[in-house]
Amino acid sequence: MSKPARGRLTAAAASMLAALGALAALAAISPASSQAFERSFIGQFKTVSTVGSTVPVLGAGVPGNGDVNPYGVVQVASSAGSLVRGDILVSNFNDFENLQGTGTTLVQLTPGGGLSVFAQIDAARLPGACPGGVGLTTALAVLPGGYVVVGSLPAANGEARNAKAGCLIVLNSAGRVVETISGPPIDGPWDLTAISAGPFATLFVTNVLNGTVEGGEKPTDGGTVARIELVTPPGGAPQVTSERVIAGGFPEETSESALVVGPTGVGLGPEGTLYVADSVGNRIAAVPGALFRGGPGSLPAGGVTVARGGFLDGPLGLAIAPNGDVVSTNGGNGEIVETTPAGAEFQPVETEAGEGGLFGLTVANDERGVYFVNDAENTLDLLH
């Protein structure tokens, strides 16, 4: 069932839980550490090392299907089930034939490069709706209790004209799918970020298929950011308590080389502002008061521009640094860029991934580096 919470929570209970979840989450969004940086966070790192391959291949004790094109990346904060603290989860967007929107595997790498398959998702066995099937995106997070949420934007035969709305897929800590979240406002979930406190979690999800397929490679302005509130009852899977679009008007378009381009990476700053990588607009946008917004309201289409151009070159993945700055990957040239909330930029870091090589990234749990995926080489790398 695609909306598992609807039949188990009354409207009043859902509203109360959502409010409690938002308040708890707000209390949780302090900077990652008390360390203050008066300079660039990524500027202290000079070395890029390959952690390991992200391709699940047959042999060497690693079952897999040869999926390629790693997109999403998240480091596990707490051990649970098959998840090991410090390991890194990666989602694959393409299958072994390199068809986009057809990847079905989540792989798990140790910091030393050991590879295992956390989950291989069968579209025919999903417990709920996921229009179009499975094509795992950059949208990836680990929630309390070891539940993993990953986005699906499927495209039969890897063709943009076949792209469907997809869903969010929820797996338990053993890698088994337990539910899906689909239907409005989910429409092509492209990336997400999550914050949590106790049993409460809040997801911010970018969506890139609101009119995109119909518009083809002509940009439309239907891209959105949706906020989804969840609560995980004792012994149960996460349940949806609230869903709403909090920002819209982001440009999006289909692409022969990238399938679809639109609002991608998202990260919640310590002041409660959500930052969005606007890939088509080549900018970083801001959505103030993201935890409590009732909707787009008077927010400009595409949010408030923080930075445009400069060192940005097709920003895709996005994360918040311990100093509150925005760190993003450039799809256009393989550089990682750091932007302050005021829009100032530091000298970018060259990863040698080249054009089309970068996508998702995450700050390492110990804050001593940044993990990122290299699509060109199908590897997980570390800037340290």
Q: How confident is the model at residue 93, as a pLDDT?
A: 97
Distance CA(139)–CA(187), nearest Å, equals 13
Q: Is the pLDDT of residue 117 over 90?
A: yes
Which amino acid belongs to residue 212? T
Distance CA(293)–CA(48), nearest Å, equals 39
Q: How confident is the model at residue 10, as a pLDDT?
A: 42
Predicted confidence (pLDDT) per residue in 181-235, tens digit? 999 999 999 999 999 999 999 999 999 999 888 877 788 999 999 999 999 999 8
Q: Is the pLDDT of residue 9 over 60?
A: no
Q: Is the pLDDT of residue 27 over 80?
A: no
Q: How confident is the model at residue 189, as a pLDDT?
A: 98
Give the residue among 120, 129, 127 at the shortest CA–CA distance from 95.
120
Distance CA(291)–CA(99), nearest Å, equals 36
Q: How confident is the model at residue 230, as a pLDDT?
A: 98
Q: Is the pLDDT of residue 378 over 50?
A: yes
Averaged pLDDT score across all residues of the chain: 90
Could you tell me the pLDDT band of residue 99, with boundaries at 50, 70 and 90?
Answer: very high
Q: Is the pLDDT of residue 241 over 50?
A: yes
The torsion angle over the Cα atoms of residues 182, 22, 136 and 163, rounded to 10 degrees, is 40
Q: Where are the domains of the chain?
A: 11-36+57-315
Q: What is the mean pLDDT of residues 270-281?
A: 97
Q: What is the mean pLDDT of residues 134-153?
A: 97
Whether the ω angle into residue 185 lies within 30 degrees of 0, i.e. cis, is yes
Q: How confident is the model at residue 20, as a pLDDT?
A: 46
Q: How confident is the model at residue 253, as a pLDDT?
A: 95
Separation in Å, CA 295 to CA 14, 171, 181, 185, 239: 18, 29, 20, 12, 21
Rounded to two decimals, what is the model's pTM?
Answer: 0.91
Q: What is the mean pLDDT of residues 278-292?
A: 97
Q: How confident is the model at residue 76, as a pLDDT?
A: 98
Distance CA(314)–CA(252), nearest Å, equals 12
Q: Are 351 and 334 in contact (CB under 8 A)?
A: yes
Q: Is the pLDDT of residue 18 over 70?
A: no
Q: What is the mean pLDDT of residues 72-79?
A: 98
Q: Is the pLDDT of residue 3 over 80?
A: no
Placement of tokens 């640094």 in the chain: 321
Question: Tokens for 141?
Answer: 């997070």
Q: Is the pLDDT of residue 5 over 80?
A: no
SS3 68: strand
The yes/no answer on whether domain 11-36+57-315 falls in CATH 2.40.160 is no
Distance CA(246)–CA(235), nearest Å, equals 31
**Torsion sign, CA atoms 313, 314, 320, 324:** positive
Predicted confidence (pLDDT) per residue in 43-62, tens digit? 999 999 999 999 998 555 55
Q: How confident is the model at residue 61, as a pLDDT?
A: 56
Q: Is the pLDDT of residue 78 over 80?
A: yes
Q: What is the mean pLDDT of residues 313-335?
A: 98
